[in-house]
Structure 1
Amino acid sequence: MLQKLLKNKVRLLQFIVLVTLLVLIRAFEDQLFYDPFLDYFKNDFTHLPLPNFNSFQLFLGLLFRYTLNTVVSLGIIYVLFKDVQMVKFALVLYCFFFMVLIAAFFYIILFIKGHNNLALFYVRRFLIQPIFVLLFVPGFYYQKQNK
């Protein structure tokens, strides 16, 4: 796969630009998104109470960040594989995982109320970081090789 990327410099440049966009989303997270949990999880969160937050703004902030990461990740998948069906399948997976994760996130916040901060940390991590692209690319590559 790396040899194919090196042969096609335009695709390599597109890939680098998309990865840079993911880095920029992370670098400017404080300015782009409402997320009181950014500072909370930078500290010793296991002994701290949950921060005050506006549920609606938090939902919109998480949705916006997840959407940005998803769009860039889908771009990466398209640039690597040039397969629209694969991108559509990944989009369905991204939507499904967002619904499951956002429900789990707010369930932990509203009903467990800080008694399981580690679960909250990991659910939030999947919502705000482009972890799924790291799982999908090798999976799609393996699937494409075995066709």
Structure 2
Amino acid sequence: MLQKLLNHKARIALATLFAIGLVVIRAYEDRLFYDPFLNYFKTDYYNLPIPEIDNFKLFLGLFFRYFMNTVLSLAIIYVLFKDIDAIKFASFLYSLFFVILIIALFFILLNTGETNKMGLFYIRRFLIQPLFLLLFLPAFYYQKQKK
């Protein structure tokens, strides 16, 4: 087992570097992206009205962050599994999930935002955090073991 790890030092180092990139995105989120919900959800948001937002800037900020997280996540998947078909499939899923989640987020925001703050919170969480990576890594590992 230890010998296997030593044989894959470069892959482990690259995956770690990309994971650090995800951490950097999280650490500098307030400076990199327009998202008035960053501070809103850190407070007692359930008793506060939804902050004023610029829908276009919010969309661009969420898109940019999702895109950066996706690129780093796909890089991690590629480095660990060296499987182009897995990258194509994950890219398709990331794109599909973005469209579904962004539509759902703006639907809730524009129609039921004040009454559905928890839905807004969780949908936004999937858009801004690399949660899909946590789902895809074990799935691709299992798939690779089955081959």
Distance in 2 (alpha carbons) for counterparts of 1:83 and 1:55: 37
* Paired AA for residue 55 in structure 1: N
Q: Which residue of 1 aligns with 2:11?
A: 11
TM-score normalized with structure 2 length: 0.96
Asked if 2 retains the 8 angstrom alpha-carbon contact of 1:5 and 1:11, the reply is no
Is the alpha carbon distance of 1:52 and 1:4 closer, same or farther for their aligned partners in structure 2, counting shifts above 3 Å? farther
Distance in 1 (alpha carbons) for counterparts of 2:51 and 2:3: 48
TM-score normalized with structure 1 length: 0.96
Distance in 1 (alpha carbons) for counterparts of 2:101 and 2:12: 32
Q: CA-to-partner distance for each residue in 1:78-130, whole Å, 9 max, x for gaps?
A: 01100011001000000000000000000010000310111110000000000
In the TM superposition, 1:63-78 aligns within 5 A as 63-78=63-78
CA RMSD, Structure 1 to Structure 2 (Å): 1.4
Asked if 1 retains the 8 angstrom alpha-carbon contact of 2:113 and 2:120, the reply is no
Asked if 2 retains the 8 angstrom alpha-carbon contact of 1:6 and 1:12, the reply is no
Q: Which residue of 1 aligns with 2:60?
A: 60
Distance in 1 (alpha carbons) for counterparts of 2:127 and 2:138: 20
Number of residue pairs matched by the alignment: 147
Identity of aligned residues (%): 59
